[in-house]
Every structure is written in structure tokens, then in C-alpha cells.
Amino acid sequence: MDSDCLSLLPAVCLVLADPKQSPPDDTSLEKLLDWFKEMHSQSNEQVLLQHQPCLKEFISSVCTSKTTDPAILSFTLKLTGLLACTKQGFHLLEVGGLLVCVFEREAWFVCDLWEDASVRSGWLQGLLNMLKHRQALDFICGNGLLKVILQLQNDGSLFVACLANQLLVHILNFLTSSNMTNGSDAVESRESSLSPDWVSVSSEIMNGVVEALSSDDHPRVLQGLRLLSSVPSQCGEPIRSTLWKDVLVPLEVLINRGSESLTQPLMTVLQAAVMTPLLGQSEYKVKELLEAMLGSGNKNESFQCAALTIKLEKCPEVLKRKAIDIVLLPLQCVSAQSQDTAEKMNLALKEQLSKKASCISHLMQSLSSLEELAYTKYQFEGISIHSVTSSVVLLLRICSGHYPSSLIQNNASTRLIGCCKVQRCGLDTLGALSVYEENLNIRKDIFGVLLDYLKSPDSHATVLKKTYQATVSWIAVCSPFPDLLQFISHDLFPVLKKRMCDLRWEVRDSTLEFVTQLTVALNGNSGFIEALHTSGMVSILLSSLADSEGYVRASAVAVVGEAVDSSLHHTVLVCKSNLLEEALKQMMTILSQDTEGFPRRAVVKAFTSWLKGSHLVTAVHPFLSSVLSLGCNDFDWEVKMHTLELAEVLMEKTLTCCPYAVQNFGSSEKELMQALSKLKEFGLFDLLFNSLFDCDRPVCEKACALLLKLRTLTSESADFDSTLVLNVNGNRWGDEVQSRYLNTQQAKGSVCTSDERMDSGLHCIKDISLPMILHILDLDDMQRTLRLSSDHVVNSPRSLMEDILSAAQQSEDNIVDCY
Amino acid sequence: MKLYCLSGHPTLPCNVLKFKSTTIMLDCGLDTTAALSFLPLPLVHSPRLSKLPGWVSKDGAINLEKELKECSGRVFVDSQPEFCLPEKELLDLSTIDVILISNYHCMMALPYITEHTGFTGTVYATEPTLQIGRLLMEELVTFMERVPKAHAASCWKNKDIQRLLPSPLKDAADVWSWRTCYSMSEVNSALSKVQLVGYSQKVELFGAVLVTPLSSGYSLGSSNWIIQSHYEKVSYVSGSSLLTTHPQPMEQGSLKNSDVLILTGLTQIPTANPDGMLGEFCSNLSMTIRGGGNVLVPCYSSGVIYDLLECLYQFMDSANLGSTPFYFISPVANSSLEFSQIFAEWLCQNKQSKVYLPEPPFPHAELIQTNKLKHYPSIHGDFSSEFRQPCVVFTGHPSLRFGDVVHFMELWGKSGLNTIIFTEPDFSYLDALAPYQPLAMKCVYCPIDTRLNFHQVSKLLKDIQPLHVVCPEPYTQPPPAQAHRSDLMLELQPPPMAYRRCSVLGLPFRRRYERIQLLPELAKSLVPSEIKPGVSVATVSAVLQSKDNKHVLQPVPKPAPVPPSKKRKRVMEEPPEVLNPKPLLSGAVPLEPFLATLHKNGIMEVKVEETADGHILHLQAEDVLIQLEEDGTHIICDNNEPLRTALRDLVLRFLQKL
């Protein structure tokens, strides 16, 4: 493939360098660069430049042309950098001053091309590509390019500025890397110091950072902070500590000034520092700086800082605790019922909580931080998780308009009534708090508030969804308690029944999903299953199978499937509620008649999970062949995929019934035979062969994989030849098999030579044995082709180059036409 | 200007406004909650109700077995249900000039006001209000007259007996003013006094005030009223809605710049959002039908039922209710459904435009066509033969004390599969259900009240900025059940004036101006003189004629020459003698030039003293004081008339004469 491409390369270079041609689009150029990059990594030091002189010509012609397009120039810069990233390549380009010609913008014929941001970004990218060896750094410093890079750090284009930053960090990083040190003592010298040659380079960059941080220009400060945040993680010593020492003073000034817009970038810098050994050394003051950021929780930005501090990995425990104290303040204050909590509230917070927007954002910060802590099961100290959880419960009550009159912050409360944002966030947090066992004794309160939300006619569909999620997590942890069943059957089920008849389909859908999750979470709890059947839930679930909305029908199928699965032990219940019979009847109707794909997919999935279940449902068996044939002929490719998955499970289950492992294969051949005939009865082979020639690639691939499995299994024995035969007449796949069969026979030269005999041959090959079919279909080859993505031809570099060439060709034609 | 409050009920108001020389009654709502104290009137003989034990006090001293019956721990009056009328003693109802009706729910007491009280005025209402109001009254009368009671109970009302009765009968107020329902002839007579008006139509009352109905968005033909004179404006807001339902949207702009805004008829259930309730209604209904039960919806025969039917129309197919029959049973069911379709101009834009397609504006027409919705005048007759279960029945009365609903309560109350869904917010559902206990049927309370809530009203008031707001007392404090919900009350600056039953409020603004017309010939005779740029002044001598609250200035008639030939002297109606008025002065006396003039006229010794209002000039030699003030000049000069005159003339030199 690559040799094809290489042969096209000169022509492509000519097209690209031709100023009369409009340049290909950016994506094509990027793809071309990707291809170069790949070539380079595969070439094992073999230099592309040597074999492809057209590249050098291309580069020099672009640089000397007076009418170069910015996109082509940018491409050339990146390409040059890429070609010069090996010492050899660099050397080849440096000879004759080509490299200088490319990267010295004074050397360009058209100077104002620099004004184009894509050119500047290409220039930086080129240098970044090149900077893989010491010569490259020499080149950058020797030609005074460092100054330009430092200037570009404050470029108007964000991409350029960002790239400049990246390049500077790369240079700093490079100074301490093994490339810069000679020979074996690389590791030691990295730790000790920088070679004096490079001190000036590093100090030039570092001074730039210090200047930026002390500047009054906000964007400059931001850029400085951005660079600074990359250094600790990317650069080694001594650069890291030297730089940190230099910036400590301006950093402190910035932190103490406390500008809200800088909070995030400053925290990113500190976050990067926390991850390094800088944290452990007191002279670098990382901890102090973090503490200063937090303040005492009396500044607006301290809440944001606190929230970010909590997220810090490796955050010192003292700081984390302080941050937690701060971040939880809004939550505690809004839900404060006693004066002492309210006293904690300082002026800044009071003011923030009195405004609706900031009150909501602070509460959300409190809640999401709490949620995050709960995910790690953080052990709070000094704060009881009990009281925090109660605060969340109270906040949720406030948001739904039910709250005690003893609240201190009454004003804030009325503003929060019906606020969906806080409700959703609070419910997420409440769900996460279920990890703390201490909370189990307030489960009554918690279930109470969750139930209120489920009952409330004003609950938004998304809020209900969150309520369900929280309820599931609490039910999962409370399952050992006997009062849970009481709650479910007396309180929860009546609400769920109503919600399954909600006006909004989203609510009906999430309710059904919730019942599915509930059934999964309480699987094996016989009390629950009994309640499900005796409370009339089953009949409503079954009636949901006829919902007007496809998504709801799909969820109903899933929940009915789950209910059947978990009820199988309780034969009496199942018979009484007629669940299985009714479910099968309605599901088959859906599979054969539903106009939407989702419910049909769900039906096949339900059958799959029934089969997977430990107790094989014999009642399902009579339906399997219909499911397989309906699924196979479905319009929706996903239904077909799910049908194949069902087939896979069916194969596993049927074939593992007999111990068909290779070692004792001989003894159980008969059983295998029986299993295969059973599969044939189900119509499994028809499904697999039909799917093999399906129009959807994933379907064919899956079928092919399953057939390969079958082949391994049957190839061991020749006995099947006579016994397990399939009719190949009158279906899609049969024709293909027949023609292949005849081809192989012809190749052998043994059978038909004349037309007559072929006819009779055709006649006699109506039935072919399964192993034979598997053999004549070249499944391995089919699998190989199917594995390639369907666009593999279109996506190849060769096609890319051809596109570029033909586009140029066409434009030439057009010119002629116009003329 | 005074406001007499004859009803304390916030949504069933009855107020009388005395404004200029007119007496205007604003609405006459009938509080039917009194009916809850009575036993239901069953359409079909109910063995349960007829076997209820009579009530005898514990010590046996009072025996009211005939009048009071006990049912599951509560005592009910066994008599024709009665209603609590607006206060009749606060002012003489015969003095009322006009009654303005804002919507059909607020006119149910009309016959009590206009009949047998000496009322001779006019009632103003929009056409749908009149027609649907008539239907509701007709329905009420039919409900009562269908089930006549042999005797009326009144002994229990005796004060000495009443205080010994169990609650809530003991606490019922004004029981002596409770009345049984009016008759059809009274309804007809009352409604014959109604004059129809259209939105924004200006109706002049005795030349004194203009009244204008504005669309209020609550129900078909519902209106707010503006009552204005040339210089004063009173707005009456009653039962308005900003939600998009079937009626024309609320007109807000014209309410701006009111001196007083009388605000009544806000939502009765401020915590229930109508959308959420509609959702609850549908899901409960669907759940019951899926479970094989029947749904009973006690409701008025007009209003929210149109929206309920429309919502169900959209919801039915998705909820698999396609084959479930809907029954609407009311003596006026047919008229109500048909009337709603013909008042196109009173509907919201969306429904109006359907009329041009042409399509019926409400989808219940389609429900009727497809036989999904059937309507019957009563449970007797066709209904009993066509009735199929499970079904949904809409029927009245929402108090559950009379109407066909009583029968369904008896029929379905025993089964837990059935559900009763309350959608009307006027009655406490627990009280309504009290005589049916114990009840197995499920009860769902989904009050749908589309009227303004506190949030909407505070936004509205911010927008229209009335100087003063008058409202029923309950709106000035949070609901008793939610004492901490400070958002569920009106918080205004200045605070609203609250009223309760029998309050008489002096409205806090004084009339200062009256418009007077100048006849052209009089105007022609005026000689204005400019006293400062842009302001000209002229004196007018004319005769003020006031007639029909209009004031006209006419030229003074010339004295008719006395006919000399008449011998006999007769007393003539002499026109008032017209004296030439003294010229009016304007301007100010400037100090320095005045001193200079005095000096010129030989007055030398002047001592000037500055005072708060101007100056005092002491002419020492003459012993005269001249006080120069902004609005007056006094010359104090004892016994020297020539000097005073001389000084006066000097002062006059500086002033302009008109």
C-alpha cells in the first residue's frame, strides 16, 4: 500500500506546490500529515527525504513562491518539522539552508503570511514536531526563535497562544531530558543541574513567566498561569523547583488579590504542584498557598476553591477538612434550624444566599462536593454524616415546599421551591450518601422525602428520574430490613402504579426502568416478588406493553422480562397472575407487529436473558423458533444482532448440555448430534446462514463468528456428514452455497463437465451436510474481509492522494471548459 | 368613596362600591358550602340514608330526630340544602344602581339580590356569562326541585339549640340568613334585568362614571371591570387567569394607572399547579380504568370540564382508554357542550381560528360524534339502558349533596376499584365525602384552579402599578395550614387594605377635580392674558348648569327687558344680578423697585425687615406697615385712608390685572 502511495507522492507534491491550484481542504492535509507521521514511525531511521527528493523540492518551492496559500505554507511548516525530527533528516534539510529558509520568516517571499493564524500555528507545530534532538534546540536558540515563541505566547489567537505555551513547556522539559545529557550518566545529571549552556535558555523562559504573572494584563496572566500549570507535571528537576521558586512571589500576590476569574487557573496550578514532590518541601509553600486560596471561607471565591480543593488528589488532609467545612456551609446555613449554625454564616455568604442565582449555585457546589466525597466513602471528622444527610433531606423538602417553620433562612427557602436544578443535584447527592451505614437509621426520613417527590404532581420528569435513581440505591442498601417491604408494597407501589399511567411518556418510561432495577436489586427476595404479584402491579406492567410510545413499550418489555425471570420460583404466583402466558403472547405480538425497533429489540433481549437465566424456562422453548425467524427477517439491524446473541446463548446452552469437550468427545458424539438436531429444529442454522449474507456488516460478522465456532465443533467428526443435512434450496444463502459447492466439485474435476450433469448435480445437491457447508464457505476469508471497516477503502492514504490529484485534474478540466 | 363588603369569601365576592353618585354592586357570588351541612338528596331511594338515626343530645334534653341525622360520627341537617347569601343588612339593596358580573360562577346569588328587595337597577354581563350562568342556575333549581323535601328544618337554627349541637353545625355562622334555592321564575325574572355588554365596550352610568368589561382569561366571557370617571379610576379584578386554556387571554394593559384596584378571585389552592393537577387527574383516571374500576368526576357543568375533556381527548389513545365510555350527566349537559362551541369570539385565538376552517373549536364535538362521550340530562331514561362499565362519569354537583352524583356515590362507593376524582376547588373534599363514610372507593383530590396565583399576581401588580389595592383578608396572610409560606400572600407597599364580611372601607383617595364643559359662545367671549410663558388666564363669568352628573358653563343670560305694557306686577324669576367682578391681580411686588417708587413718592424712611414669607416694610414717618408676602400684600395704616389708597395704587403698579 505504501509503495503505491510513494509512487503518487511526486505528483501530489507538484499539485500542492502549484499556486494555481486551490489547496485541498484542511482535513485532507491533516490526514496527509498523519500518513507522513506513520511512515516516519515505521521507517526505522530510514529517511524518507533521501528516497523522495520531491519533498525537498516541494518545501523549497513553497518557501520561495510569491503566491503561496497560507494553508499550504502551514502544512509545509508542519511537514518540515516532521521530516527534521530525526538527526539525519534534520541534517539533510539544514544543508543548503532550507531549514532556515522555512522557519526564518524573514526568509519568506511573502512576509504578511505571518498574519494568518494558521501559519503561525503551523510554524509552532513544525518546531514542536522537530524538537526531538539537541540539534533542533540549537537551531531554535541559535536563530533567535525563542523570542518569537515567547511573543506568540500572548498571541491573539487562542490556538496559537496555547501551542506556544506547549512548545515552551516542551523546551523546558527537553532541557532536562536525556537527549540533552551525554551518555551513561544521564539519570544522575538530570537530578543535579542543567548544563550551563542552557541556563540562559531556561532563565529566559522563566523570566517570561514571572513577568506574565506580575503583569496587569489579564490574558497575559492567564497564559502565564497556563504555562505554569503544565510545568510541574511535565518538567523534571531542576527546572521545576527553580521555576516554582521564581514565581512564588507573584503567585502569592495573585492569590491574595483574590480575583474570581483567576480562581480556576490558580487552582489548576496548585493542583499540578500538589501532585509533585514540591508539596513535601516547606520552602515551596504549596500548602500555604492552597490555604491562602481557601481563606477562611469569607470570600466569594473561597467556595469555588474549596470545591476544587476537595477534588484534588493527594490533597493534605488538613486542607481537605478545611475545604469541606467551607463547601458545606451554604447547605448547612440554608437548612439551619438553630441559631448556632446560622451564626457560622458570615456576611459574604449571607449576601450570596440572598440572591437566587448565587444561592442556587452555592448549594449545587455544596451538594456536588458532598456527592463526590460520598463516592469515595470519605470519613468525615468533626461533622456527623447524619447531620449532613439530614441537611440534604431538609433541603429537598424545602425545594418541594414542605419545610418546618423553624428554618432560619426563610427567605432563601421560598426562592428554592420548585427549583429543579437543586432538586436534581440534591437527589443525586442523597443517592450517593447511601454508602454510609450510619445513615441507615434515618432511612425513614429519607424514604419519606423520596416518596414525597414521587407523589408530587409538580415533580419534573428529570427530577422523578433522579428520585428513582436515589431510591434504588437506598433500597439496595436497606434490603435486609424488614420494614423495607412494607414501604415498597404500601407506599411505593401505589405511587408507581399511578406514575405508570402518567401523561408524560418520559415518566412512564423511567418508572418502568425503575421497576426493572428494583426487581434486579431485590432479586431473590421472595417477599418482594409476592408483593409484586399481589399488589396488582403485574397487570399494570402487562398493560404497559401496549403503551402508545415505543420507548415505553421497550421498557415495559424489559420489566416484564425481568419480572418473569425473578418470579419463576413462585409457580403459584405466576400461574395466578397469568404473567408468563400473557407476557409471551404480547411479546410475540410486539416482535411480529410493532412498528418501532426499540420494543422489538427489547423482546429479543428478554428472550436472551431468560435463556441465560439459571433456570431454563421450558415454556419459552415453543416460541424460540418463531423468535429466531422473526428476528432474522426484521428490518432493524440491531434486532438481527440481538437475535444472533440469542442464538449464541441458545447454542451455548444446548451444546453444553452435552459434555462436548474435545477430550471426551468420542463418547458423547451422539449427544452432540442430538443437540445439533435440536438447534436445527429451532431454525438456528437458517438464521446463521441467512445472517451471513445479510446486508449489514456487523450482522454478517457476528454470524460468521458463530459459524466458525460451529465449524470447530463439527470438524472433529465426520459422522455428521450423513446425518445432519440442511436443505439448501429456495433461500438466499442456499444459492451461494450451491454455486460454491459446484465450483469446488468442478475444481476437483470429479463431477460434472457437461450441462446435463450439472443439472442433475444441482438436483442432487438439494441437501448438503452441515460440516460440508461450513467447509465450502470460506469462513476464514469471509471473517477477514468483514473485519475491515466498511470505509476502509475510502479511508486509505492512497485514496486520499488520488482524491487530491483528481480534484486538481478536475479543476484543470473546468478551466478548459470555461475557456 | 366607600366599599361595602357583603361577602367575605375571596372567590365568591359581593361588594358594593359607592363612587361619585352611583352605587355599583361588584358580583354576587353565592357561597354554597353551607349545603355541606345537609344530608345528600338521593335521586333514587337510598335505604342507607333513610335509615340514619336521628340526633338526640347526650342528656336527651334536646330531641331533633326529625331534623338532624347522624352519619359516621357527624350530624347532618335532613332538609332541603340551603346556601349562605351575601349580607343583606349592611345597606339597602334597593339603592343599588347597577350590578357588574365578572363570571358565571360569581352571579349565582343574583335572584336573591334582584328579587323581592326592591332592586330596580340593571345587571351588566357578557353574553356567555349570562347564558352559562343561566344554565348553572337552571341546573341548581332542577337538582333541588327533582327531590322535594316534605318539611324544612329550622328548629336547629335556634341559637340556644345550635350552640349545643356538635361541630361543625355548632360553629356555622349566620344560619338564620341561610336560604333554600330560588325558583325558576325568580331566575328568569333576575336574568331579565341583565343587559349584555362586550369586551372593552364603554357603558356610561348616569353620566357619572364609565364602566368597561375587560377579558380576564378565566372562563368563557369572564371579565374584569374598569370603573372610571374623568379623574379617577377603579379597577375590579375578579377571577383572572394567565394560563392558556380555552377563553380569550387576559387583558392587562387597560388596568394600568388605577387609583384603586379591588383584587378578588385568586386561586383557592395556591400550592397546586394546574398542569400538575391535570397530569394527576389523567394518571389516576387511567390507573383506575386499567384496574377495571369506574371514575366519578363531580364537577360543574361548565368551565374546567371543557379543558378536562380536551386533555382526555389527547391522552385517551396513549393511555389505551380508546374504548372506555365517558358520560356527562347534567340537566344542562347538552346545552353546555353546545354553547361552548358557539361563543367563538370569546375563545382564545387558537380556538377562534378553528371556526374558520371550519371545525368545532372544542374537541368534545369529535368525542360526541365518535360516541366516546355521551351526555344525558339525568340517570333516568336512556342512560340507564346504555350505561356500560368501566366508565368515566362527569356529573354534578361537586358538593356531593344533590344532583346525579349522589346516586353514583351510593352505587360505586362500596368498591375499592372505583375512584372519585375531585377537580373543583370550591369544596373541601373531606367534608363533601363525610355523609358517605365508610367509603371503600379511592379518593383523589386534584383541584384545578386556573385563577391567578400569588406569584403571577405580584408580577401583574408590579406591571400595572395601582396606587392602592383592596383585597379580602385571607390574601394578606399565609394560608393557615402553611403559616411559614410567606410567598403565598400579598406583600405590597403600601400594604393592601383588607376586607371581610360586613366591612365598610373608606377608599383612600379623595376626589379633587371635576370636568366642566364650556359652551362655545362662552369660550369665544374669554380674553386670556398670558401671565407667564405658556400660561394664559382669563376670568369667566357664567352660569354653571349641572344635569345628569354633567357640568356645563353657559353664558349669563341677558336680563330680559321688562315689558313696559304689563300692568300687573308679577313676581319674575329674576336672573341673578351680575356684578362686574373686581379685577384679579397677579404677579409679585419686587422689593427694590418698590422701595425706589416709595422714595420717588416722598416716603423716605423705610425700614425693611425680612420675614419667613417675604418682607415687612416699616414706613417710620407715617407709622405704616406694608407686609409683602408671596400670596398677599397688607397695608396696615390706621385712620389714614388717603395714604392707604396712595400706597395701594403704588403696589398695584407692579401687579397685572385680569
Query: What interface predicted TM-score (ipTM) does this complex get?
Result: 0.78
Residues 6+ apart with CB under 8 A from B19: B1, B208, B209, B227, B229, B232, B234
| Cα dihedral A403, A409, A414, A417 sign | negative
Q: What is the pLDDT of residues B252-285, one digit of tens each?
A: 999 999 999 999 999 999 988 999 999 999 999 9
Q: Lowest-pLDDT range, B13-17, B57-61, B322-326, B342-346?
A: B57-61
Cα Rg, chain B, nearest whole Å: 35
Instruction: Specify whether the CB–CB gap between B287 and A498 falls below 8 A.
Output: yes
DSSP helix/strand/coil, B262: strand
* Alpha helix positions (H), B74-150: 110-114, 127-146
Nearest-Cα residue of chain A relative to residue B318:
A548
**Which candidate from B276, B317, B483 shows the least CB-CB separation from A457?**
B276
pLDDT in tens, A691-714: 888 888 889 989 999 998 888 877
Q: How far is B297 from chain A (nearest CA, A)?
A: 17
- Provide the pLDDT confidence category of residue B6 given band limits of 50, 70 and 90: very high
Interface touch A548/B446, C-beta < 8 Å: no
Q: For chain A, percent helix, then strand, then coil, each to nearest 5? A: 75, 0, 20
Amino acid at A611: L
> String of b and e for A36-69 (b: at least 16 CB within 10 Å)?
beebbeeeeeebbbeebebbbebbbbbbebeebb
Residue B421, chain A, CB below 8 Å: the answer is: no
The residue of A400, A464, A501 whose CB has the most chain B CBs within 10 angstroms, and thus the best one to mutate to test that interface, is A501
The structural domains of chain A, with segments of one domain joined by +, span: 1-130+789-819, 143-263, 643-785
Cβ B320–A417 below 8 Å, yes or no? no
Chain B contact for A458 (CB, 8 A cutoff): yes
Among the partner-chain residues B277, B286, B484, the one whose CB lies closest to the CB of A410 is B484
pLDDT reading at A399 higher than 50: yes
Closest Cα of chain A to B111: distance in Å?
40
pLDDT (tens digit, 9 = 90+) per residue, B51-83? 999 988 888 888 888 899 998 889 999 999 999
Separation in Å, CA of A580 to nearest CA in chain B: 19
B312 close contact with A: CB closer than 8 A: no
B271, B279, B320 ranked by CB distance to A502: nearest: B279
Roughly what angle, to the nearest 10 degrees, separates helices A732-748 and A684-692?
A: 80
In tens, the pLDDT along B425-484 reads: 999 999 999 999 999 999 999 999 999 999 999 999 999 999 999 999 999 999 888 888
- Of the candidates A403, A497, A546, the beta carbon closest to that of B287 is on A497
pLDDT in tens, A533-550: 888 899 889 989 988 899
Q: Record the cell numbers describing residue B388, joined without a space.
A: 356500560
In contact, B345 and B355? CB cutoff 8 Å: no
Three-state SS for A561-604 is: HHHHHHHCCCHHHHHHHCHHHHHHHHHHHHHHHCCCHHHHHHHH
The arithmetic mean of pLDDT across residues B480-491, rounded, is 86
**Distance between CA B535 and CA B557 in Å, rounded?**
29
Chain centroid, CA B658 distance in Å: 50
Q: CB-based contact (8 Å) between A695 and chain B? A: no
Mean pLDDT (chain A, rounded): 81
Q: Do A401 and B278 touch (CB under 8 A)?
A: no
Determine the angle formed by the axes of helices A505-521 and A537-544, rounding to 10 degrees.
130
User: Using the beta-carbon criterion (under 8 Å), do B484 and A401 form an inter-chain contact?
Assistant: no
Look at the block and give the residue holding cell 343583606.
B88
Residue B494: cis peptide before it, omega within 30 degrees of 0: yes
Q: Do A498 and B283 touch (CB under 8 A)?
A: yes
- Region B336-349: what's the mean pLDDT? 91
- Interchain CB distance below 8 Å, A503 and B278: yes
Q: What is the pLDDT of residue A184?
A: 40
Angstroms from B176 CA to nearest CA on chain A = 40
Q: Is the minimum CB–CB distance between A456 and chain B shorter than 8 Å?
A: yes
Please check whether residue A625 touches B, CB under 8 A: no
Is residue B578 very low, low, confident or very high in pLDDT (cuts 50, 70, 90)?
A: low
Q: Is B484 on the interface with A (CB under 8 A)?
A: yes
Q: Please report the pLDDT score of residue B200 as a whole number.
A: 94
DSSP reduced 3-state for A403: coil
Q: How far apart are CA B139 and CA B301, in angstroms?
A: 8
In chain A, residues with a C-beta closer than 8 Å to the C-beta of B283 are 498-499, 501-503
Tens of pLDDT, residues A783-799: 888 887 666 666 677 77
For chain B, say whether A786 makes contact (Cβ under 8 Å).
Answer: no
- Identify the pLDDT of residue A187: 40
A512 min Cα distance to partner chain B (Å):
15
Q: How far apart are the C-alpha atoms of A472 and A521, rounded to whole Å?
A: 8
pLDDT higher than 80, residue B642: yes
Three cell numbers written together for A175? 532541557
Q: Which chain B residues are Cβ-neighbours of A503 within 8 angstroms? A: 278-279, 282-283, 315
Mean pLDDT of B393-417: 95
Interface test with B, best of A503, A505, A506, A548 (most B CBs within 10 A): A503
Report the residue of chain B nearest A461, measured CA to CA.
B276
pTM for the structure as a whole? 0.80
Residue B560 has pLDDT above 80, yes or no: no
SS3 A253: helix
Chain A window 518-557: which residues touch B at a Cβ cutoff of 8 Å?
A: 536, 539-540, 543, 546-549
CB contact under 8 A, B276 and A458: yes
Chain A residues within 8 A of B280 when measuring between CB atoms: 457, 498
pLDDT at position B300: 95
C-alpha B331: how far from chain center: 29
- CA A159 to CA A166: how far, in whole Å? 10
* Mean pLDDT, all residues of chain B: 90
3-state SS assignment for residue A337: coil
**Which residue in B277, B486, B487 is closest to A457 by CB distance?**
B277
Distance CA B207, CA B514 (A): 12
User: d(Cα B258, Cα A148) in Å, to the nearest integer?
Assistant: 70
SS3 sequence of B225-272? EEEECCCCEEEEEECCCCCCCCECCCCCHHHCCCCEEEEECCCCCCCC
Check if B286 contacts A (Cβ < 8 Å). Answer: yes
| Residue A107 main-chain phi, psi, to 5 deg | -80, -10
A356 touches chain B (CB under 8 A): no
| Residue A708 burial class via C-beta count within 10 angstroms: exposed 0-12, middle 13-18, buried 19 and up | middle
Distance CA B267, CA A752 (A): 93
Q: Is-contact B635 B626, C-beta < 8 A?
A: yes
A819 confidence band (pLDDT: 50, 70, 90)? very low
Q: How confident is the model at residue B532 (pLDDT cuts 50, 70, 90)?
A: confident
Q: How many CB pairs (< 8 A) connect A and B?
A: 64
pLDDT of residue B570 exceeding 70, the answer is: no
Instruction: Work out the percent of chain B whose per-residue pLDDT is above 70.
Output: 97
Query: Measured between alpha carbons, how far is A137 from A171 in angstroms, rounded to an integer?
Result: 8
- Per residue in B133-185, pLDDT tens? 999 999 999 999 999 988 888 889 988 888 888 888 988 888 888 999 999 99
Contacts of A546 in chain B (CB under 8 A): 320
The predicted model gives A756-775 an average pLDDT of 63
How confident is residue A344, by pLDDT bands cut at 50, 70 and 90?
low
